[in-house]
Amino acid sequence: METNIAASSRRKSHRAFFAILISVVFSVSYNFSRFRSWKPLEENSNSLHESLVTDNKPKVAGLSCPAFPLLEQSQFEAAQQELVYWRDIPDDSQLVSPYKCPSHGNQTRKFLTFEPDEGGWNNARMAAETAITMAIAMGRVLVLPPTTTMYLLWETTKTSKKTHFGFMDFFPLELLQDELAGLEIMTFQEFLEQEVLTGHVLANPHTGEPLQPPGGKTKWDGSLNNWESGRQGNGQELWQWWRSVATPLPWKYYECTAVFPKPSHECDGPTPWNAVTEVDEQRMRDYMQQILQQEPDGSPQPRIRSYDGNPTAVDASPLDRLAEIVADRRQLCIYDRNLQEASVLHAMGQQSESTTRFLVHFYAFVFMEDWRHDIWLKRLVRDHLRYVDEIQCAASRIVASLHEKAYNAETNPEGLYHSMHVRRGDFQRAYVQVVIPGEALYEEHVKDVFEEKSTIYIATDEKDATYFAPLAQHYNLFFMRDFMHLLEDVNPNYFGMIDQVVASTGQVFIGTYLSTFSGYINRLRGYRTRKNNPKEITTGNLRSFYYYGIPEYADKKKLMQRYHSVEQAFWTHEFPVGWRDLDHGVTNVLDRRRI
């Protein structure tokens, strides 16, 4: 990434040119002086353009992998197209936060920094998604944390020694800031050098002198371990200092819902952003009061259960949508004027009495008052915050090979297969609720789901192959280890993400309840609903099952086959509201330069 201000200006110029080009190519008429509201298309207007396959498609759209000599090219290309669930909706790329001024000339830059979550990759991914969507919702520059050693991502090979990672290694963030008008990104080093040490932000209020990081150090890349967080080591030195100078977000996701009101105060000289007023804040509090009044006995469970098989419309009123999303939380965390005025907000990654992590799905925490803001944010994650091409292309190799192995001219001419995720490893110590012998896994959870002799791809951290012997007697099993000849050029720390992508393509999927790894597989499957099972777009239902180890979890087996509302503990699995009906309205709304 270029690191100077001139480079940033060039990127902004490129975005402006790209926006003009898109508006010409797709005949989109924007009124740049009055893009304050949504305007429906006339009945005879063209629908929103989508360009999954074009000669000049944006860099994140579609998937085009280098030819791989061990695979037949047409099969490899078909596998690539099978993986693509993300859409290229040009108008979405041009939308920005509702708090951004129409004119950028008088805009004050504000920032959101965040720490990597202290858990494993999927916990860190979950928290990063939440931080990224909050930055976009707020209209703040997203400051990425330094690269770090992440829990369990420390494998090396003769050809791959990289063990320090940043979120740019997993998501195409550098490309996204060139595509998305609503996203600007800086590295932590850039931020310290260009904004903090220059005194542009957080200067000493008494002397005006710039802040100095510990030891005057600005390059922290590769010196942190995410599991240490701010407790010890270099993480303690950096994050304890930074928490003391930035404005920490005090929001506890399990106690409150983060609410972003539609601002009623428009930009002016003293306030160079669209500001939330006391009236806006009170409107949010009134919503919450009305929701609590629906619980005469003080229990949220009847309300939560009322959504089973009965989803709230994505374009419903703010009150109706919020009533579902709050779950059993009794408070709102409102993005109010005080938080708006803070130059730097900081999201922590450590759980303690005085700090909070964001171990929550972004869509179960971040609530935008205007439904169009809300659904746009969810589409941004679906269509842009996806795994990088190296991961997707490696997964495509396995998918192409799996189809070939599953193929039978008479019984399986399409080469279809099912998939599973069997979490063992440290789960056997931490979550005994899902510990189960291999024999019971087959008899109680697999036998009645997968047809005999079918092909199954299993993503697992179980090293003992004999655990799967009961399944092997009935199914044609494949694991990542069977495809290592296709992955010799891939960093082994990507293997978990590759496993997720491959497992998400099974016709039917069985996952491990309580596993965020299985949870994300289901969300990827949900994103593919539009292509694979369009009848379930508005329900979010999936052909997925969960296995468990205790009778109390018997209702979890078919949990993903019927709509259900978000509820605590949020991390245990993913929820249909994260992927259902996300394209609602994109075919009858065009004038959406700013929402």
> Which stretch of 68-77, 98-107, 359-368, 401-410 has the lowest confidence by average pLDDT?
98-107
| Single pTM value for the model | 0.89
Model confidence at 473: pLDDT above 70: yes
- Check if the beta carbon of residue 498 is closer than 8 Å to that of residue 487: yes
pLDDT of residue 531: 84
- Check if the beta carbon of residue 92 is closer than 8 Å to that of residue 383: yes
pLDDT of residue 530: 84
pLDDT of residue 20: 35
List C-alpha distances in Å: 505 to 77, 285, 528, 582: 15, 43, 9, 20
Calculate mean pLDDT across residues 280-294. 96
Q: What is the pLDDT of residues 477-506, one digit of tens each?
A: 999 999 999 999 999 999 999 999 999 999
Q: Tell me phi and psi for residue 268, to 5 degrees.
A: -145, -175
pLDDT of residue 481: 98
* Confidence class for position 587, pLDDT limits 50, 70, 90: low
Model confidence at 474: pLDDT above 60: yes
For tokens 């990104």, the residue is 185
Q: What's the gap between Cα 557 and its chain centre?
A: 25
Q: Which helix (H) or strand (E) holds 367?
A: strand 366-368
pLDDT of residue 149: 96
What is the three-class DSSP state of 378? Answer: helix
Report the distance separating Cα 227 and Cα 231, nearest Å.
9
**Percent of the chain with pLDDT strictly greater than 90:** 77
* Confidence class for position 105, pLDDT limits 50, 70, 90: low
Q: What is the pLDDT of residues 519-558, one digit of tens each?
A: 999 999 999 998 888 888 889 999 999 999 999 999 999 9
Report the distance separating Cα 183 and Cα 191, nearest Å.
15
> What is the per-residue burial (b if ≥16 Cβ within 10 Å, else e) of 294-318?
eeeeeebeebbeebeeebbebeeeb
* Confidence class for position 58, pLDDT limits 50, 70, 90: low
pLDDT of residue 137: 97
Mean pLDDT estimate for the chain: 88
Q: Are strands 224-225 and 331-334 parallel, antiparallel or unpaired?
A: unpaired
Model confidence at 447: pLDDT above 50: yes
Residue 201: Cβ within 10 Å count: 18
* Confidence class for position 142, pLDDT limits 50, 70, 90: very high
What does the longest C-alpha to C-alpha distance in the chain come to?
81
Two tokens, residue 158: 């003769």
pLDDT of residue 10: 42
CATH 3.40.50, domain 390-561, yes or no: yes
Q: What is the pLDDT of residues 386-438, one digit of tens each?
A: 999 999 999 999 999 999 999 999 999 999 999 999 999 888 788 888 889 99
Model confidence at 52: pLDDT above 80: no
Q: What is the pLDDT of residues 321-364, one digit of tens each?
A: 999 999 999 999 999 999 999 999 999 999 988 899 999 999 99
The length of the chain in residues reads 595
pLDDT of residue 534: 83
Q: Tell me phi and psi for residue 469, to 5 degrees.
A: -55, -40
Residue 98 identity (one-letter amino acid): P
pLDDT of residue 57: 52
* Confidence class for position 380, pLDDT limits 50, 70, 90: very high
Report the distance separating Cα 154 and Cα 7, nearest Å.
33
Report the distance separating Cα 554 and Cα 571, nearest Å.
19
All CATH 3.40.50 domain ranges of the chain, comma separated, are 390-561
Report the distance separating Cα 312 and Cα 519, nearest Å.
22
Model confidence at 9: pLDDT above 60: no
Position with higher pLDDT, 425 vs 166 = 166
Neighbour order of strands in the sheet with 418-422: 476-479, 455-460, 418-422, 509-512, 544-547
- Check if the beta carbon of residue 249 is closer than 8 Å to that of residue 258: no
Choose among 423, 405, 404, 397: nearest CA to 521: 423
pLDDT of residue 426: 83
pLDDT of residue 33: 27
Residue 316 identity (one-letter amino acid): A
